[in-house]
């Protein structure tokens, strides 16, 4: 049986920042072909593809994403911890799924598919494309770091760009211009005071201003400013959009980006459960079966310079994925 920690380290050693996943896709393709799977590469954009591996079909698909946020962080082992970009989000999970599928097949179970998608960290173009494939599975187990619990639900997301405008001028004569940053810096602190919706299961709506841009040089008063927000939704997007539009009215222009609705998930008896606050690809993979969300690792260290996963939790997750698949296929739901 393949060692899941060694496999995870191999995957982590292959840089795969979103939009540059070609090398890790090729690695997975070769590995799965060599193991006797029926493998299809689905091009998402030139040089980027989803990987779908199947045998008998009609059962359970194990799926996660193989892209990461920047920057690349090389893998290293330190005691019970495997560090590196993608350790918990989500190449460690991909390794656990690969080994679990290997164990299931060796045990005579062919009704398991593997789906590895690109682009989850920025717009989920891989999942959107994968939903066009002729999937036959009854259940989809999506992998994200849930701290080894079955997620009962997850928040959705809504990306918004906010733009304010002014008038450029030489900085030595500020009276001749109007800085676009002035209204932007007045607006953004007011976000905290808005009456964001709250859900009993998923908790409060949250908003993060992750990117700001303005101006070209320090000696030019900026004519334009832009901020990019990520709103974590707990319900329908329309009340949130109404709040944001009222907040910006007459002071800023808005441009809405990708939207993923919040979700409730299938759970099974005998497994710990709880909600998560982040978004997954599940809402975009509706053709792949009834969804479950499970994975080792903590989202709290994902996207950080200290991203890591517990070696013991990673090893245990292989057995949990096997048990989840078998429970679903046996109909004990």
Whether the Cβ atoms of residue 297 and residue 147 lie closer than 8 Å to each other: yes
Instruction: Please indicate whether residue 120 is annotated as part of the active site.
Output: yes
* Element of type H or E holding 62: strand 60-65
Pairing of strands 81-83, 203-204: unpaired
Task: Give the CA diameter of the chain.
Answer: 78
Whether the Cβ atoms of residue 42 and residue 117 lie closer than 8 Å to each other: no
- 109, 120, 121, 144: which one is catalytic? 120
- Locate 134 and state its tokens: 């002729």
Whether the Cβ atoms of residue 156 and residue 283 lie closer than 8 Å to each other: yes
- The C-alpha atoms of residue 322 and residue 312 are separated, in whole angstroms, by 16
Q: Could you tell me the strand order of the sheet in which 224-233 lies?
A: 206-214, 224-233, 156-165, 253-260
- The C-alpha atoms of residue 106 and residue 35 are separated, in whole angstroms, by 11
Residues 6+ apart with CB under 8 A from 129: 42, 44, 50, 117
Minimal CA–CA distance to 124: which of 286, 266, 8? 286
What does the radius of gyration of the chain's CA atoms come to, in whole angstroms?
A: 22
Catalytic residues: 120
């Amino acid at each position: 049986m393949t060692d899941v920690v060694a496999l995870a380290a191999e995957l982590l050693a292959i840089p795969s920042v979103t939009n540059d996943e070609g090398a890790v896709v090729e690695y997975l393709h070769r590995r799965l072909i060599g193991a006797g799977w029926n493998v299809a590469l689905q091009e998402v954009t030139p040089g980027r593809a989803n990987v779908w591996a199947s045998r008998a079909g009609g059962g359970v698909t194990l799926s996660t994403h193989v892209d990461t946020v920047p920057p690349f962080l090389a893998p290293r082992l330190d005691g019970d911890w495997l560090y590196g970009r993608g350790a918990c989000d989500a190449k460690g999970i991909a390794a656990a799924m690969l080994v679990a599928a290997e164990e299931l097949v060796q045990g005579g179970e062919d009704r398991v598919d593997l789906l590895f998608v690109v682009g989850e960290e920025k717009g989920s173009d891989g999942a959107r494309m994968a939903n066009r494939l002729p999937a036959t599975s009854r259940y989809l187990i999506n992998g994200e770091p849930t701290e080894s619990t079955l997620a009962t639900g997850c928040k959705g997301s809504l990306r918004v760009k906010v733009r304010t405008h002014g008038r450029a001028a030489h900085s030595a004569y500020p009276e001749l211009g109007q800085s676009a940053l002035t209204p932007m810096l007045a607006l953004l602190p007011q976000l905290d005071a808005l009456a964001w919706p709250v859900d009993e299961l998923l908790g409060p709506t949250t908003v993060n201003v992750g990117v700001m841009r303005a101006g070209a040089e320090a000696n030019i008063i900026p004519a334009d400013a832009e901020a990019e927000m990520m709103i974590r939704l707990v319900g329908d997007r329309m009340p949130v959009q109404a709040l944001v539009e009222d907040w910006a009215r007459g002071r800023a222009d808005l441009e809405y980006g990708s939207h993923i609705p919040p979700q409730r998930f299938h759970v099974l008896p005998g497994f710990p459960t709880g909600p998560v606050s982040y978004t997954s690809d599940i809402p975009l993979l509706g053709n792949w079966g009834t969804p479950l969300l499970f994975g080792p690792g903590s989202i709290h260290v994902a996207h950080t310079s200290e991203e890591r996963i517990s070696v013991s939790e990673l090893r245990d997750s292989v057995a949990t994925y096997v048990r989840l698949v078998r429970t679903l296929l046996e109909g004990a739901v």
